[in-house]
Amino acid sequence: MTDEKLVHLHNHSYYSLLDGLSSPEDLVKTAKNMGYKSLALTDHGTCAGLFKFVSVCKDNGIKPILGMEAYICPDHTFKDNGARELTRHLLLLAKNEAGYKNLIKLSTISYVNGFYYKPRIDFNLLEKHSSGLIVSSACCAGEIPNLLFEEKEQEAEAVANKYKEVFKDDFYIEIMLHKYYMDAEQEAKEKKLASLLYKFSKKLGIKAICTQDTHYARKEEWEAHDTLLSIGTVDTVKNPKRRTMKSKDFYLKPYEEMAELYKKVPELLLNTVEISEKIESNLMAFGQDLLPNFKVPEGFNNEEEYLKALVTTGMKEKGLIGKPEYRERIKYEMGVITKCKYTKYFVVLWDIINFAHGAGIRIGAGRGCFLPENMVDCIDSRKTISKVNIGDEVLSYDGKYHDVIDVLSYDIDEDIIEIEMEDGRKITCTLDHEIHVQRGLELVWIKAAELTEDDEIYDIREG
């Protein structure tokens, strides 16, 4: 048991793109200054911010709770007219390692297979990956709140019982209250929903929690967040019909404010602590070697000795063993590999490629792609590769500048094209370079050679 009185379980960072304002660091430091000992991160549909969040929590002595506000719909594979309106919110929190892995799986599947305006999952998918997860009914945009507000109590009960059957005591009803300075209707709706949800939880025997839909760390940041929403909708703050929260209340609130807000139902605060106590610590491993184990052959003590033997054999086969310039280059390269602790990566990759060669499996060239406009750090400035001169000192792997430019060569044996963007930028790439564009209602990767003037470019995959 802890001496905590409240844990904020519903918080968005700027990884909720163009919706959350604060960085994970801002949220954590604000929570710490308020005396909180635990905090959740629940960005919209993504786990992208969790690594940074956990790192900052470790540095600040805060227990990280890993979560996501998922987009759930009847069928995540259905992508047609009307599917967008059927998407609702659902809060997911990882209780243990299995829950963390399932959280990542659900987020990945929602983007790869379920993306339609939003990264979506459905109940069948959630049930398949339900182990180790804690679930709550989310904000006003959740399925149960919507049904209750539409006076469809029987349907809401059916949905709640469905979740309760799968998640047992790890399913909670979520209650929110916010003030709206220019939307009395929304404020009244939340108050009505809060009352309906509380009675609903009592009727079904499902515990309820109170949450604060945090979109920025501090109260005074509401105006910056309002501007962010305008940017996200390609609008202006001067437009009265723009998308806006119409509120200054979506900040991380101190315990005193939350206690005053829910003083008639204090169990809602304590139930957030109950959830935090269910959640195991250290769900995300740092510094863990995730490469497969490599068994070094007899006669070698470690991977470094074996890699050096492979390199020596290769030099002999290519007739390079007696040439000082190659010997010095190999010595330098091996120093980089050893210092950066890449030895295991190289021997594992060699093992895979060596097997493929023996099995008659084709191996690609495995090259990267540097273009004339790629930037490099020189001692005096940042330059494009095309402006690097012989003798320039270039930033190396060890953080120091080395005079390593001996020969410049920009010979290209592939056809290249130049793409002019709407903002005036010009990008040079090969015809087979992959470009992320919108085709119909989907984002797809295509070859640069397949581009048309009507394609809207979102991203260009680096080689």
Give me the pLDDT at residue 374, please. 72
Give me the pLDDT at residue 205, please. 97
Strand bridging mode 171-175 / 133-136: parallel
Angle, in degrees to the nearest 10, between helices 324-339 and 303-317: 160
Residue 223: enclosing H or E segment and its boundaries?
Answer: helix 222-232
Give me the pLDDT at residue 51, please. 94
**Exposure on the CB side of residue 404, measured as CA atoms within 13 A:** 14
- Over residues 398-425, the mean pLDDT reads 64
CA dihedral 16→22→24→27, nearest 10 degrees, is -120
Residue 111 near residue 68 (C-beta atoms within 8 A)? no
Whether residue 323 is predicted with pLDDT greater than 90 in this model: the reply is no
- Over residues 105-126, the mean pLDDT reads 96
Q: Alpha-carbon distance 435 to 462, whole Å?
A: 9
Whether residue 268 is predicted with pLDDT greater than 80 in this model: the reply is yes
Whether residue 298 is predicted with pLDDT greater than 80 in this model: the reply is yes
Give me the pLDDT at residue 419, please. 79
Of 141-150, 198-207, 240-249, 445-454, the poorest mean pLDDT is in 445-454
Whether residue 289 is predicted with pLDDT greater than 90 in this model: the reply is no
Q: Alpha-carbon distance 449 to 394, whole Å?
A: 34
Q: Alpha-carbon distance 153 to 145, whole Å?
A: 10
Closest CA to 123 of 381, 114, 111, 287: 114
Domains of the chain: 24-278 (3.20.20.140), 303-358 (no CATH), 416-460 (no CATH)
Most confident region among 122-126, 299-303, 398-402 by mean pLDDT? 122-126
What are the pLDDT digits (tens) for 41-59?
A: 999 999 999 999 999 999 9
Q: Alpha-carbon distance 350 to 371, whole Å?
A: 27
What are the pLDDT digits (tens) for 200-214?
A: 999 999 999 999 999
Whether residue 362 is predicted with pLDDT greater than 70 in this model: the reply is yes
Angle, in degrees to the nearest 10, between helices 184-204 and 153-167: 60
Closest CA to 31 of 222, 253, 221: 253
Residue 448 near residue 414 (C-beta atoms within 8 A)? no
- Over residues 133-139, the mean pLDDT reads 97
Closest CA to 212 of 21, 35, 40: 40
Q: Could you tell me where the DSSP H helices lie in 130-169? A: 143-149, 153-167
Helix (H, G, I), strand (E, B) or coil at 126: helix
Q: Alpha-carbon distance 325 to 70, whole Å?
A: 57
Give me the pLDDT at residue 370, please. 61
Give me the pLDDT at residue 463, please. 47
Q: Alpha-carbon distance 192 to 148, whole Å?
A: 10
Structure tokens at 320: 């390079």
What are the pLDDT digits (tens) for 327-358?
A: 888 998 999 898 888 899 999 999 999 999 89
The CA-to-CA distance between both ends of the chain, in Å, stands at 51
